[in-house]
Each structure stands twice: as C-alpha cells, then as structure tokens.
Amino acid sequence: MNGLRFSTQQVLTAGSSSSASSAFGANTEYIRVVSTIAAYIQIAVSPTAAATTAYIPADDVEYIKVSEGEKIACLRVGGSDGKVSVTELTQ
C-alpha cells in the first residue's frame, strides 16, 4: 500500500441492522477498514451487509479495492454494537 494517502474518513455503527457509508469519491482506489467488533461487510453501489457477506474480525486492518460511487455497509456479529472506521485512500 505504498504511495497511498489518507483521504475522507467515515465512522459507521455496526449494529443490529445494516448501515451504509456515503459513496466513495472519484479518486478513491482503496479503503482501509478497521472495526472495534467482529462485523459483516459488503461493498457495492447499494450494499446491504448480512450474515452471508464478508466477515472482518475485530481490530484487524483490511485494505479493500473499491470504485468511485461504491459504498460499504456493515452489520455487527453478536449482541453488542461497535464502530467501523473507513478511510478512503488516494494516490
């Protein structure tokens, strides 16, 4: 991930229902995702996270390739809400 810069950051609540970010910007190629709890995520233009979508463990840094206009949605695993930090990365 050398040469990438931090850009827009969003913090989502991973709760009992899926919540989505704002759309990623035109220059965003990757996102950096970190969650305080285990969570399910989905990336799409109109995403809905569910128990059948990708799983991320708590406190693990994930780098994910994305396209302009896509969003990320998250959903908690278990009974406690948490925060999902999403940072857009640009060149």
DSSP label at residue 58: T
Q: So what's the pLDDT on residue 7?
A: 96
Residues 47-87 have pLDDT tens digits of: 999 999 999 999 999 999 999 999 999 999 999 999 999 99
pLDDT per residue over 2-56, tens digit each?
789 999 999 999 999 999 999 999 999 999 999 999 999 999 999 999 999 999 9
Q: How far is CA 6 from CA 13, 29, 31, 55, in A?
A: 21, 11, 9, 23
Token pair belonging to 29 = 């190629």
